[in-house]
Structure 1
Amino acid sequence: MAALLQRPHAAVLCLSILYLTGGMSIPDPKQREALIKQESSMQTGGQQVLTDAEQRLNARLLKMKQDEVEREEFPPAMHFFKARELIRNSPIFKLLQKMPKGGALHLHDFSMVDVEWLVKNATYRPHCYICFTSRSVRFIFSSQQPKPLTNCSSWTLLESLRAKTVNTTDLDNSIMGNLTLFTDKDPEAVYPTQTVVWSIFEETFQAAYGLVTYAPVFKDYFYQGLSQFYMDNVMYLELRAILPEIYDLDGRTYDRAWTLKTCQDISRQFVANHPDFVGVRIIFTAKRTINTNTMLKVVEEAMKLYRDFPDIMAGFDLVGWEDGGRPLWYYRDALSLPVARGVPLPFFFHAGETNSQGTEIDQNILDALLFNTSRIGHGFALTRHPVAKEWSRKYGVAVEVCPISNQVLKLVKDLRNHPAAALMSENHPVVISSDDPAIFGAFGLSYDFYEAFVGFGGMRSHVGSLKQLAINSIRYSSLTPEQKEKALSLWQRRWDKFVSENAF
């Protein structure tokens, strides 16, 4: 690849000569073939040299993909809520579920576990109370009648409510409906604008908050999240986490350090139980709506947590609706604090999760790079910023692409038109992740890998593309070089086993 960048390829010279002569030459089939091969070599995974077994698997996959493309209903061109069943029944998807996908590097803590597990497990525990707002529900665990909550009905013990309910399945389904955006109705009608979908999206987090921040549920939820991704053949997670205040039944609360240590203990226990799982690292987050003084305090706390928990704390990020929040530059004093004090704190900024152009929000992509972000979360707008795009490529700042999230939150309708398709065509550093799978009605990482492989890549992406994306997820992680080497070795063994079992 370096040689290709240093001197013109023969095919490019031929094409240049053709243009210089006014297009008078008759196109040479060999020139055409050379151009096609050059483009193919430039895409994600284009430099991968496939083994015989990988080539056999590739032939099988491409046949599956051809069948998929010829279907009357093509899932990447449809809203995920309508396409989910089609994807679930796809032979490609079933194969991708078996594939070792490396790590999920863009994932939020309160949206990684299937909502059915949350309802069936958490809300059936003793002392779980529910109240109803005009838009949703709230929960709390308490040994006695909880104090009234503003703008919510009186608290009702769920155990008592279920005892009075004729059809508890309907009640459970109703509760689940408040914890996810997924709908059987027309999603375009239910969520007509970004403002509407983001408003309801953020409401789902509020609904889950009282459940997940109850200490016993929090511990089980975190372990279950690791289990679900492990079942989907993901071996490593980097979680965006607000590290909320956790509470007990008697109302006692625990701070962020307790929460982070609990995550660390559970992660270590999970790795002990599953030696082929690499572990978890936490990216501490703050909302992009807080004021500057609060942000200063949060960044100071982040620096302390990074110092005190180096094994699990990866860095810091801002979260929330980018178009509805403040730009990164607004927080420049707080975000400059680590460098000013000579204290390490890696950044992993959400940036470019927008369709706006020429606004302060649109500049977040450039500002994220100016603040030395380790990766770019979403980066949907990156292709509109040639300077940022070149900077990202030159310094290996990978883009965390979350296909389903970008579609559901109304940045793009047809995933064949996602900007990441262009990024992957030129082997820009990208990783695939799932953002908030539980809220989108997805699971683990396989659905997003399907959309990337079938939607972004079309008929050009192949086994090498999948292999490179998995490798990228380890290469661009926050693991140390030694940990990356160990993780890649572990992943390679699983990959070889996957290929040998499915290459026929």
Structure 2
Amino acid sequence: MRRILRGTPGKIVQRYASSISRSLRNTTPTAYKILRNAVARVEQIGSLGYKLHLNERERAANEVIMDLKTAEIQRGLLDPAKFSPGHHIFTMLTKIKESPLFNILKSMPKGGVLHAHDTALCSTEFLIELTYRKNLWICITDEGCKAIGFRFSVEEPTMKAMEGCTWEPMESFRERRGEENVRQYLMQRFSMYPFSNFRSNNQAWIHFMGIFILLDGLLLYAPVWGDYYYNALKEFHEDGVQYLELRSLLPQLYCLNGEKLKISDTVALYKSEVKRFVSENPDFIGSKLIYAPLRGVEPKIVDDYVKTCVALNKKFPDFLVGFDLVGQEELGRPLIDFVEQLLKMPEHINFYFHAGETNWFGSSIDENLFDAILMGTKRIGHGYAITKHPFAMNLCKYLDIAIEVCPVSNQVLQLGQDYRSHPAALLIAENVPIVISSDDPSFWRATPLSHDFYFAFLGIGPWSADLRFLKSLAINSIKYSAMQDKEKPAAFKKWQNKWDVWVEEVAKLNNK
């Protein structure tokens, strides 16, 4: 057995793989330990971030981070009730804010968010601030107690959010119900919190989509739309995010007199707000747009989607750069229904398809993964079911297609409860390309990205996942972004500058 000491861990395992089952019981404890260490090492070598090298200051920062991570894990081993990734985020939001590990991750430059939806970005507090804007009306039912919709107008709006609701000036509604009562009510209506006990994925989605519908009249007012997006960039930036790719239905905005603007005006407003924000925050990399209309339509409508996307890309070639279809996969149509239409999309407009956001196996729903890959998607949104399809998973690895993992979203929308059982654990172990994103953080009262990083680091990744893991995720968010290759060096430089400062600040904690 002395020969087992020679060679790399991989060669050691390969050399003895055929005889392990026959000889293992006859080996010595020393030889067994050597072989076991080699097997464990081979598995680690293939995981996300393992091959990344840290410099001296990063190693010092890593000691601080791993001490904090180990402390949280040890507390969880002694008392599982104290381990946040084992519970629903809504029961742990207050506790997580007190976590030293979470606060270090919050300050960390995390690169970019590559999966987020435009009307679910800003904090609940900012949404409530918007309801104090002049000329806002609220449509109410249930004897004036239930909000159905909002609308900005000088006079009482003529359109109804739904049959049977009555318009009332927001100031009057607030006076009648009491300011604090209205604030608490809107806090509840503008998020999924604290509804953690939905009995099904469908129930969660019904409530989820209801928030989008409620917010439309508030956010689609053109002056608010620009302010909302600017504030979203501000909140993401404060959370350690330097780049944002957002998916948008590209709704028509409206003016105070009721006039509706063109879809191209919506894109132009986005672009102008990004330009303004970058000019005021030069360390911010920028933002790009993915046109993402709803998937629950007839194929002929997707033909129109494609034409719209081509026209908008022609007008905004450096900003509107991709296409997706969104909505609940179980109730929407599968991608295979739209292949004929989608293949008409010019190749320079990339696909970034939602696919496999489901617990089903062997259905047309999870098989969206096949069609997304075969149509050349550059990334896959969620991909929650991809570990059930090892060939598709290996194709993603071979073709360098990143999976946009959104841990908190998957939990709130009832795909899984314990982050330790999230399927992305296998993607991490196999080093399938992934990025961590937040999807709709506004609706879970989460930070723009830090909560998702926290759960990925502490719950989904292995105990041994360290600063190399975190750094790899940040790098991936730029590597797999929709930025052109010529744009990425400058983006990496902006991120690296902030990364080095953060590493130094964390490393100094090692001496305290």
TM-score range, shorter chain: over 0.9
1:271-350 alignment runs, 5 A limit: 271-338=278-345, 342=346, 344-350=348-354
Q: 2:81 matched to 1:70?
A: no
Provide, for residues 447-486 of structure 1, a one-character-per-residue CA deviation record: whole Å limited to 9, x for no partner.
0000000001141110000000000000000101121111
What stretches of structure 2 of length at least 5 have no aligned partner? 1-7
What amino acid is aligned across from residue 214 of structure 1 in structure 2? Y
Checking the alignment, whether the CA contact within 8 Å between 1:351 and 1:376 is kept in structure 2 is yes
Checking the alignment, whether the CA contact within 8 Å between 1:303 and 1:344 is kept in structure 2 is no
What amino acid is aligned across from residue 74 of structure 2 in structure 1? E
Checking the alignment, whether the CA contact within 8 Å between 2:140 and 2:168 is kept in structure 1 is no
Q: 2:94 matched to 1:94?
A: no
Counterpart selection for 1:481 from 460, 479, 485: 485
Query: How far did residue 148 of structure 1 move?
Result: 4.4
State TM-score, norm by structure 1.
Answer: 0.94
Query: How far did residue 8 of structure 1 move?
Result: 4.9
Give, in whole Å, the separation in 1 of the partners of 2:403 and 2:62.
26
* Number of the residue aligned with 1:269: 276
453-462 or 220-229, which deviates more: 453-462
What amino acid is aligned across from residue 64 of structure 2 in structure 1? R
216-225 or 305-314, which deviates more: 305-314
* Number of the residue aligned with 1:108: 117
Checking the alignment, whether the CA contact within 8 Å between 2:250 and 2:293 is kept in structure 1 is no
Query: How far did residue 409 of structure 1 move?
Result: 0.5
Query: How far did residue 61 of structure 1 move?
Result: 1.4
What amino acid is aligned across from residue 103 of structure 1 in structure 2? G
Query: How far did residue 156 of structure 1 move?
Result: 0.5
Query: How far did residue 286 of structure 1 move?
Result: 1.0
* Number of the residue aligned with 1:25: 27
Checking the alignment, whether the CA contact within 8 Å between 2:138 and 2:168 is kept in structure 1 is yes
Query: How far did residue 334 of structure 1 move?
Result: 1.4
What amino acid is aligned across from residue 110 of structure 1 in structure 2? T
What stretches of structure 1 of length at least 5 have no aligned partner? 1-5
Give, in whole Å, the separation in 2 of the partners of 1:284 and 1:81.
31
Checking the alignment, whether the CA contact within 8 Å between 1:148 and 1:154 is kept in structure 2 is no
State TM-score, norm by structure 2.
Answer: 0.93
Checking the alignment, whether the CA contact within 8 Å between 1:14 and 1:31 is kept in structure 2 is no
Give, in whole Å, the separation in 2 of the partners of 1:452 and 1:193.
24
Query: How far did residue 137 of structure 1 move?
Result: 2.1
Q: 2:152 matched to 1:141?
A: yes
* Number of the residue aligned with 1:9: 11
SS class of match (1:380): coil
Q: 2:126 matched to 1:117?
A: yes
What amino acid is aligned across from residue 204 of structure 2 in structure 1? V
329-338 or 346-355, which deviates more: 329-338
What amino acid is aligned across from residue 389 of structure 2 in structure 1? H
* Number of the residue aligned with 1:82: 91
Query: How far did residue 36 of structure 1 move?
Result: 2.3
* Number of the residue aligned with 2:139: 131
* Number of the residue aligned with 1:3: none
Provide, for residues 322-355 of structure 1, a one-character-per-residue CA deviation record: whole Å limited to 9, x for no partner.
11111011111211112xxx55321100000000
Give, in whole Å, the separation in 2 of the partners of 1:192 and 1:448.
23
Give, in whole Å, the separation in 2 of the partners of 1:30 and 1:70.
27
* Number of the residue aligned with 1:155: 167
What amino acid is aligned across from residue 443 of structure 2 in structure 1? I
Sort the Cα spacing of 1:213 and 1:197 in 2 relative to 1 into closer, same or farther, 3 A: same
Provide, for residues 4-42 of structure 1, a one-character-per-residue CA deviation record: whole Å limited to 9, x for no partner.
xx9953234334432354643334322222222222222
Checking the alignment, whether the CA contact within 8 Å between 2:138 and 2:147 is kept in structure 1 is no
Give, in whole Å, the separation in 2 of the partners of 1:322 and 1:51.
44
Query: How far did residue 430 of structure 1 move?
Result: 0.2
What amino acid is aligned across from residue 40 of structure 2 in structure 1? I
Sort the Cα spacing of 1:494 and 1:447 in 2 relative to 1 into closer, same or farther, 3 A: same
What amino acid is aligned across from residue 201 of structure 1 in structure 2? F
* Number of the residue aligned with 2:388: 384
Q: Share of identical aligned residues, percent?
A: 37
156-165 or 307-316, which deviates more: 156-165
Counterpart selection for 1:214 from 213, 217, 221: 221
What amino acid is aligned across from residue 179 of structure 1 in structure 2? F
Query: How far did residue 90 of structure 1 move?
Result: 0.7
Counterpart selection for 2:190 from 176, 179, 186: 179
Provide, for residues 253-311 of structure 1, a one-character-per-residue CA deviation record: whole Å limited to 9, x for no partner.
11111110111111011111111101010001111111111111111111111122111
Checking the alignment, whether the CA contact within 8 Å between 1:284 and 1:317 is kept in structure 2 is yes
Give, in whole Å, the separation in 2 of the partners of 1:367 and 1:273.
42
Find runs of 4+ consecutive structure 1 residues off by over 6 angstroms.
none
Q: 2:398 matched to 1:394?
A: yes
